[in-house]
Amino acid sequence: MIEFVDPRAEPATPVEPYELAFDPVVAHGDADDRAIGLLANGFQDSEVFLDHVEKALAAELPGAKFHRYNKHNASSVIADPMLDTVVAECKAVVAAYGH
């Protein structure tokens, strides 16, 4: 007789629902209330990738406004002045990491 054993362990941490602080689907108001930042990490083609992300999001979220940012250095964190701008201009951010 063959016995199959599932190698996955039971989760040690209870599952908790994740609630978005900002839901662009139900956000109301002008475009600034639905502003989404697109942050490129500086790797080659990260901005091109975000072009596709923006197009897909725009199709799902009519009326959303997009702001583009680029760190220009994938090995560093976002600089404080740019972070301040992103926080002031956006309700949510999509960051493109990797290459």
pLDDT, one tens digit per residue, over 20-76 is 777 776 666 666 678 999 999 988 889 999 999 999 999 988 888 999 999 999 888
**Model pTM?**
0.74
DSSP state of 11: P
Please give the radius of gyration of the chain, using alpha carbons only, rounded to the nearest integer: 19
Using CA atoms, how far apart are residues 96 and 84, in angstroms rounded to an integer?
19
What phi and psi values does residue 46 have, to the nearest 5 degrees?
Answer: -65, -35
Residue 94 or 8, more confident: 94
> From residue 17, how far is each of 8, 11, 14, 29 by CA, in Å?
21, 15, 10, 27
pLDDT at 90 over 80: yes
